[in-house]
Structure 1
């Protein structure tokens, strides 16, 4: 299992490419990194700039480029345009997906999310494990009675305390939001690379959202970010710190962790690819609704 680099750029830099190496120039210092060992680059510096050749190379090589804005949160993602004929066939299969299939897929996605939330609570010895497991077993087609939202209220209170609310600001939510953005970007990048359209979702369908499908597929992966943040809080003792580059570097390292999917362990970004490839198989086969989704276990935190 080849582990690749996830690079975080926090100071003003020039990024270019030469002889299949990323050149990362900061003042008079130049760092050379072979392009084929890079998985992603997060640029959190408002005055960094890139060569056009580098952007083209990153797209060809399937490397995720995430750019943060002046608030230091991810805001831009480099996506490839799939021009291969297979990409067009994949898009046609996506567009022909029937509503019944989508309803089954969303039911299974919500079940997986609730089970992973229950697994997190179990791993850390918290309450409400059985409640969430029971909810997962009762999810209806298309989650018609919104077990996902009901479970979320129970889950976040059990995990982060009675005073916690996802819509509030603060350190914990900043950690979660940054982590979710990283994983969402990886998912969107993989979707586009497979010739699928990120705007067309299974359940999410906002015409204002360019990443509806990514927002569908991230759901069972969110508890992995939650677990990583909870583990950090538990081991660092930080509760209400200033969210800074140290925390971002830690969150980017989530892609160094392995995930259980289909009975095997893969690095997180490879697991994401497994999920998207299984979704593509569903789109192509009308009789197939088997979506490969990750299972959160204690080995993820090793």
Structure 2
């Protein structure tokens, strides 16, 4: 099972050799492709061979490219992530609005519940208000409890004047962490044979990752927890690596302790089972 997140943060040449990723700098490092789950190219001074990229696709390694500011800007996705992807996509286009609405309701409930748990953990009184919102959630979140909870939640975490649109280090850290999560969800969606563009609730014509944007919602508080504990006087390589390493932390899912990266895999598969069988009881959420 792949588990490594490999980060290349300075000038290097990357190529493929007999099953290994070869990183050539002042010294040469070899890492077996079977161990790599994600390859993060943080520097624009990195060159890669087409042979390596081809093998990374075959091994289903998620490759993320960063811009000149070292922020994730693109990712590499295979055309075919599953042997039966044509069948899966046909089914995806026929998921009923009823089951999509039911699954989205479960996702929103769990997201707010995780937000409430984080506020309780931090001793914030606003957790009580989020508990009230949980009791008010309607099918498809028709009354937008998610939006109301988000305002209360972020103000409790980062201060009354905080908004997600402000140009702040906190928002830079949140956005970076969310982009790592989004990429992990895109990987699992493609590996399961589905299209990332067709969401349950998110339906932005300019968003290629509507489905990942839906599924990742309950996992956002994991990023929020980490950022809330960071003392941000800058947001550079060290802070970014803290967020990348989030994927190697552990949570409980299916009554087992799993890495977050593997919990995402289990959760995504359970959501797809729920959508295919029209049974939301099949969804498996994590516990911190």
Please give the TM-score of this superposition, normalised by the length of structure 1: 0.91
Q: Aligned-pair distance for 1:274?
A: 0.9
User: Which residue in 2 is equivalent to 1:174?
Assistant: 172
Flag structure 1 segments of 5+ consecutive residues without an equivalent: 298-302
User: Which residue in 2 is equivalent to 1:15?
Assistant: 14
2:83 & 2:19 partners in 1: Cα distance?
27
Within the alignment, does 1:293 sit opposite 2:285 as a pair?
A: yes
User: Which residue in 1 is equivalent to 2:158?
Assistant: 160
Q: Which of 247, 253, 261 is residue 239 of structure 2 equivalent to?
A: 247
Within the alignment, does 1:272 sit opposite 2:264 as a pair?
A: yes
Q: Assess, with a 3 A threshold, how the Cα gap between structure 1 residues 7 and 287 changes in structure 2: closer, same or farther.
A: closer
User: Which residue in 2 is equivalent to 1:300?
Assistant: none
User: Which residue in 2 is equivalent to 1:215?
Assistant: 213
Q: Assess, with a 3 A threshold, how the Cα gap between structure 1 residues 133 and 98 changes in structure 2: closer, same or farther.
A: same
Q: Aligned-pair distance for 1:33?
A: 1.2
User: Which residue in 2 is equivalent to 1:142?
Assistant: 140
User: Which residue in 2 is equivalent to 1:203?
Assistant: 201
8 Å contact kept, 2:80–2:193:
yes
8 Å contact kept, 2:103–2:275:
no
Q: Assess, with a 3 A threshold, how the Cα gap between structure 1 residues 246 and 86 changes in structure 2: closer, same or farther.
A: same
What SS class does the counterpart of residue 6 from structure 2 fall into? strand
Please give the TM-score of this superposition, normalised by the length of structure 2: 0.95
Q: Aligned-pair distance for 1:6?
A: 1.1
1:265 & 1:132 partners in 2: Cα distance?
27
Flag structure 2 segments of 5+ consecutive residues without an equivalent: none
Within the alignment, does 1:25 sit opposite 2:24 as a pair?
A: yes
Q: Assess, with a 3 A threshold, how the Cα gap between structure 1 residues 183 and 84 changes in structure 2: closer, same or farther.
A: closer
Q: Which digits, 9 at most, give the CA deviation of each residue in 1:181-209, with x for residues without a partner?
A: 00100100110111100000000011111
Within the alignment, does 1:106 sit opposite 2:98 as a pair?
A: no
1:157 & 1:71 partners in 2: Cα distance?
28
Q: Assess, with a 3 A threshold, how the Cα gap between structure 1 residues 229 and 162 changes in structure 2: closer, same or farther.
A: same
8 Å contact kept, 2:248–2:260:
yes
Q: Aligned-pair distance for 1:155?
A: 0.2
8 Å contact kept, 1:82–1:194:
no
| Higher relative contact order (CA closer than 8 Å, sequence separation 6+) | 1
8 Å contact kept, 1:110–1:136:
no
User: Which shows bigger deviation, 129-138 or 105-114?
Assistant: 129-138
Note the aligned Cα RMSD (angstroms). 1.6
What SS class does the counterpart of residue 16 from structure 2 fall into? strand
Q: Aligned-pair distance for 1:21?
A: 1.1
8 Å contact kept, 1:78–1:189:
no
User: Which residue in 2 is equivalent to 1:184?
Assistant: 182
User: Which shows bigger deviation, 202-211 or 74-83?
Assistant: 74-83
Q: How many residues align?
A: 288
User: Which residue in 1 is equivalent to 2:226?
Assistant: 228
Q: Aligned-pair distance for 1:291?
A: 2.1
Q: Assess, with a 3 A threshold, how the Cα gap between structure 1 residues 83 and 269 changes in structure 2: closer, same or farther.
A: closer
2:174 & 2:50 partners in 1: Cα distance?
32
1:62 & 1:262 partners in 2: Cα distance?
24
Q: Which digits, 9 at most, give the CA deviation of each residue in 1:42-90, with x for residues without a partner?
A: 1111121211121122222222111111222111111122275422222
User: Which shows bigger deviation, 3-12 or 185-194?
Assistant: 3-12
